[in-house]
Homo-oligomer: A and B are copies of this chain.
Amino acid sequence: MLSANAPLLRNGNQTQLTTIALDAMGSDKSPGPELDGAVFACRNLPVRVLLVGPQDRLAQGISVRSAARRLPIEIVHASEWITMEDKAVAAIRTKRDSSMRVGCKLVREGRAAGFITAGNTGAAMATSKMVLGMISGVDRPALTAVLPTSTGSPCIFLDVGANVDCKPLHLLQFAVMGEMYARSVLNIARPRVGLLSVGEEEGKGNQLTREAYPLLQQAGLNFVGNVEGRDLYNGRADVVVADGFIGNVALKTSEGLARMVRDLLRQSLKSTITAQVGAMLSRRAFDDFKRRLDYSEYGGVPLLGINGACIIGHGSSNARAIYNAIRVTAQFAESGTNARIAEVFANTELPVG
* B260 pairs with A257, CB closer than 8 A: no
CB-CB under 8 A from A274, the residues of chain B are 281-282, 284
Could you say which residues of chain B place their CB within 8 Å of the CB of A292? 264, 268
Chain B residues within an 8 Å CB radius of A256: 228-234
Any B CB within 8 A of the CB of A336:
no
Q: Which residues of B contact A282 (CB under 8 A)?
A: 269, 274-275, 277-279, 282
Q: Is A206 an interface residue (CB 8 A)?
A: yes
Q: Does any Cβ of B come within 8 Å of A188's Cβ?
A: no
Q: Which residues of B contact A161 (CB under 8 A)?
A: 198
Among candidates B246, B251, B253, B271, residue contacting A285 with C-beta atoms closer than 8 Å: B271
8 Å CB contact of A279 from B150, B252, B255, B278: B278
A286 touching B268 in the complex, CB below 8 Å, given contacts A229-B252, A250-B250, A254-B229: yes
Confirm or deny: A67 has a beta carbon within 8 angstroms of a beta carbon on chain B. no
Decide if A133 is an interface residue (CB 8 Å cutoff). Answer: no
A303 → B minimal CB distance (Å):
16
Q: Mostly helix, strand, loop or mixed at chain A's interface?
A: helix
Contacting pair B285 A281 (CB below 8 A): no
Please name the residue on chain B nearest to A263 by beta carbon: B150
Tell me the A223-239 residues at the B interface (CB within 8 Å).
228-234
Residue in B closest to A242 when the chains form the complex, CB atoms: B249
CB atoms of B285 and A196 under 8 A apart: no
A261 B260 Cβ-Cβ under 8 A = no
Check if A148 is an interface residue, CB within 8 A of chain B: yes
Contact assessment for A205 and B271 in the assembled complex, using a CB-CB cutoff below 8 Å: no
What 16 additional pairs, Cβ within 8 angstroms, besides A245-B246, A253-B253, A274-B282? A148-B260, A198-B249, A230-B252, A232-B256, A233-B253, A233-B259, A234-B260, A249-B249, A250-B253, A257-B258, A264-B289, A268-B288, A269-B282, A271-B285, A274-B281, A275-B284
- 27 A-B pairs within 8 Å (CB atoms) are namely A150-B259, A161-B198, A164-B198, A164-B205, A164-B207, A165-B206, A205-B245, A206-B243, A206-B245, A228-B256, A230-B252, A231-B256, A233-B253, A234-B260, A246-B246, A249-B249, A254-B254, A257-B258, A268-B286, A268-B288, A271-B284, A271-B288, A277-B281, A278-B281, A279-B282, A281-B281, A282-B282
> Which 10 pairs from chain A and chain B are nearest by CB?
A278-B282, A278-B281, A229-B252, A230-B256, A229-B253, A275-B285, A164-B206, A268-B285, A233-B256, A233-B260
